[in-house]
Amino acid sequence: MSATGGKWVGQAVPRTEDPALLVSRGGFIDDISLPGMAHAAYLRSPHAHARIVSIDTQKALAHPGVYAVVTGEDVARWTRPQKGRVPLHFSPKVYALAFEKVRFVGEPVVAVAAVDRATAEDAVDLIEVEYEPLPAIVNPEQAMKPGAPTVFEELENNTLWHGTFPYGDVEGAFANADRVIEERITIHRYLSTPLETFGVIAQHDPATDTLTIWGHTQQPAQDRHALAASLGIPPSQIRLIVPPMGGAFGNKVRPLFLIILALLARAAGRPVKWIEDRRENLLALGHSADGIMDVSAAVKSDGTILGMKFRNIENEGAGIDFAGRHNLLMLSNIVNCYRVPAVSYDGYSVVTNCCPVVANRGIGKPFMCFSVERMVDIIASELHLDRLEVRRRNFIQPEEFPYDTPSGQTYDSGDYPELLRKALDLIGYEDFRGEQAEARKKGRLLGFGVAVGVEPGGSNLSYGMLISGPTQLLSGQGEAARIRMETDGTATVYTGSLEAGQGHATSLAQIVADELGLRVNQVRVPTTFDTASHPSVLTSGVYSNKFNGHDTAAAIGAAKKVREKLLQRAASQLEANVQDLELKDGTITVRGTPDKALTVAQVATRAYWSLADPQPDGEPGLEAVYYYSNPRARKPDEKNRVRVQLGFASAAHVALVEVDPETFEIKLKRYGVVHDCGRQINPAIVEGQVHGAAAHGIAAALLEEFVYDEGGQLLTTSFMDYLKPTAADLPTIEGDHLETPSPFTPLGTKGIGEGGAVIAPAAIAGAVEDALAPLGIRITGLPITPTRLWEVVSSKGKRYGSKKG
């Protein structure tokens, strides 16, 4: 019985990860303790921009209980400069600690290892740093202008990267338009903030100059290489162990901390642990990029979109690590669900004295979806058309899949009209319209918002070649898996995937159980990744929804190999033909001869024990490794078309809000999601991801915001000011789904997980705008807060968002 007809895939199997987590043996990084372990703390920059004149660590070093103090000068001596993930054509001298300059408030300047965290912080207080403050710049558009303070001396106009990608006949589209509609749309800085903060433990063995690192990462192979390259040692001298993470959401890719801890461990002569605290997390781990999008849409008067132009400025903060990433990832959903034949993207990646960006859930795609969906509503408004009609008119239709978008994405499958129809049905749209009309007569402001979006998943890392050229080494997407059948008839699965709450272990167990005819609880998937035992490729890890289609394919590939070996051995032992064998519930039988049977355990036992037996597949044991590479992950073509993402789930989000006409408080009354991620491995896990992602998007639209003052000081540095949603702030997220299987993945699944984070902000904005329709206010920026709505209303403004550039 093969996986496609299997009995576990498709079931809402209760998760195998749960028991350990529920009895609190979750094994998170801070649960790990090593003998003699020291604890680290940082002195962090109080300035947004300053030259470091001097650092005096004498008193800190002399403080009882302090084992080591490391400064940027030490790091510059001991390591090679950092390189960005997407190699740039310029290389500023940036190290894991601030070197010569500080470029954002919170930047780590000095690292201390001491007997405990409190003592390390006491020692930090004793360090004297002299700074020469420099003017700071926080607005990316201002940062691009001549005369703006330069964040990196090598970088003129603070522009890390600028690229222009025209696709299709853009000029023709605009020439043929009945109307050209323009708008400036903005997004703010926010962050998913996993409840568990970042953590690292480093242990150095001086005898062999090897490092063992327990630490957070979402790309273990890449981070291991970054660490190796930085320290000038081979990756094989680094063992990287990644415990299950208490959430990640793209935030936990920070190899600089692996580097610092490795250096501290070496300097201290003992293992060192660092657990980030919440203040450090909000201040300096990383933010999602804020950005500006100037959009022009060429439309016909019936609402057909002929072409769109995007000019986008992304604020990278003071980091080079993610240069251009937000920009390039936006190419994956640049036409969203619509048949737009011509589109151009003019993107800037700009540095400022804000916190460096990190790949927060959706990375770039939330802003692009927000921009496109806002434009669709604005087009409808300008043309006096119904915004549902404009969507329907422009939707890519179900029969058009697989559909190639102008930027080179191949949308695998979908049914956007049906998503919308079901979403309207779910939320009771027709009834709402009546309710809204009645409410308006009484002065109440009810609003309905809708956003339909593709949810691109599975990054093709070749997209970086759009910046660094065809010689970039990193390309494609894939994953590795090793499956070992144990002598007791259970299977253990090791992949380059990681656990951060998405239930990967359960999902993989379901898939492998189907493939090997086992029960789910007979498939063990360790939730700790270890380079010593897990295979990996450089694209390994947990990010961009790559699990569905890559990790799954790797696991299936390895399982098929094991299955084949298993059946060959069984055939040999049962003296039957492989084709006549049936594998079910841990037993192998011969069709038609019920007395001829073997258990999987029996076959597996002989495979390892009885080496003198004939070895039908040439080798003893029952184990296989499979490396999967997605054949559709190609390099950019000469027209800069590239499949930035490889799979396209989709969803329609609908929101009902009520806005208080006097205080502009926004009450989210109902929220619904109709999603399509193709075949679902575990519907409960999928539903959980839908809820969680929607919550992130809703909170980003209404609550969460990092606020900098003009001097680059972050004003939101605790959970009292940076507002996460609580259970009392969100409604129950209602849901329905479709399944249009992907023709390209082994199970027909598509990546789910970023989804709602990409689409929800647009639905919320649409709902608030609809509620405020009697006041005629257009929403073009986020977040939407009552105090700012009040400012717009009380000044009789018509636009909520930044002014047009």
The residue to which tokens 């009552």 are assigned: 786
Q: Which of residues 62-81 bind other proteins (CB under 8 A)?
A: 64-65
Which CB sits closer to other proteins, 247 or 616? 247
Q: Which helix (H) or strand (E) holds 128?
A: strand 128-133
Q: Which of residues 324-383 bind other proteins (CB under 8 A)?
A: none
**What's the order of all strands across the beta sheet hosting 101-102?**
101-102, 50-56, 128-133
Binding mask 259-298 for other proteins (x = CB under 8 A): ----------------x-xxx-------------------
User: Nearest 5°: CA angle at 729, between 725 and 732?
Assistant: 105
Q: Which of residues 221-260 bind other proteins (CB under 8 A)?
A: 244-247, 249
Q: Residue 347 carries which side chain, given as an amino acid letter?
A: G
As measured in angstroms, the least distance from the Cβ of 23 to other proteins is 5
Stretch of 44-52, 363-371, 393-401, 695-703 contacting other proteins, by CB under 8 A: 695-703
Answer whether 659's CB lies under 8 Å from 668's CB.
no
Which CB sits closer to other proteins, 246 or 678? 246
As measured in angstroms, the least distance from the Cβ of 61 to other proteins is 17
Which CB sits closer to other proteins, 408 or 692? 692
Helix H, strand E, coil C: the string for 713-756 is CECCCCCCCCCCCCCCCCCCEEEEEECCCCCCCCCCECCCCCHH
Stretch of 14-22, 87-95, 285-293, 412-420 contacting other proteins, by CB under 8 A: 14-22
How many residues touch other proteins under the rule CB under 8 A: the total is: 79
As measured in angstroms, the least distance from the Cβ of 677 to other proteins is 16
- The half-sphere exposure of 276 on its side-chain side, counting CA atoms within 13 A, is 29
CA separation for the pair 731, 737 (Å, rounded): 19
Which CB sits closer to other proteins, 347 or 751? 751
Residue among 318, 250, 321 nearest 284 (CA): 318
Binding mask 696-735 for other proteins (x = CB under 8 A): x------x---x-------xx-xxxx-xxxxxxxx-xx--
Q: Which residues is 71 bridged to in the sheet?
A: 110
Written as one string, the DSSP assignment of 525-548 is --SSEETTT----TT-SS-TTTII
Stretch of 43-51, 547-555, 643-651, 683-691 contacting other proteins, by CB under 8 A: 683-691
Q: Which of 112, 351, 649, 694 binds other proteins (CB under 8 A)?
A: 694
As measured in angstroms, the least distance from the Cβ of 691 to other proteins is 4
Q: Which of residues 531-590 bind other proteins (CB under 8 A)?
A: none
Q: Which of 447, 489, 501, 755 binds other proteins (CB under 8 A)?
A: 501
CA dihedral 444, 664, 375, 703 (to 10 degrees): -130
Record the tokens describing residue 465, joined without a space. 């070649």
Which CB sits closer to other proteins, 593 or 663? 663
Which CB sits closer to other proteins, 280 or 515? 280
Stretch of 393-401, 480-488, 494-502, 648-656 contacting other proteins, by CB under 8 A: 494-502
Which CB sits closer to other proteins, 123 or 173? 123
Cα separations in angstroms, 562 against 238, 266, 396, 635, 682: 30, 42, 41, 32, 23
Phi, psi of 412 (to 5 degrees): -70, -55
Q: Which residues of 267-286 are buried (b: 16+ CB within 10 A; e: fewer)?
A: bbebbbbbbbeeebbbbbbb
Pairing of strands 199-205, 272-275: antiparallel
As measured in angstroms, the least distance from the Cβ of 663 to other proteins is 5
Which CB sits closer to other proteins, 15 or 550? 15
Q: Which of 10, 11, 28, 741 binds other proteins (CB under 8 A)?
A: 28
Which CB sits closer to other proteins, 172 or 797? 797
Q: Which of residues 103-162 bind other proteins (CB under 8 A)?
A: 117-119, 121-122, 125
Written as one string, the DSSP assignment of 272-308 is EEEE--HHHIIIII-BPPEEEEEEEEEE-TTS-EEEE
Q: Which of 665, 743, 776, 805 binds other proteins (CB under 8 A)?
A: 665
Answer whether 505's CB lies under 8 Å from 481's CB.
no
Q: Which of residues 152-211 bind other proteins (CB under 8 A)?
A: 192-197
As measured in angstroms, the least distance from the Cβ of 752 to other proteins is 13
Q: Which of residues 629-658 bind other proteins (CB under 8 A)?
A: none
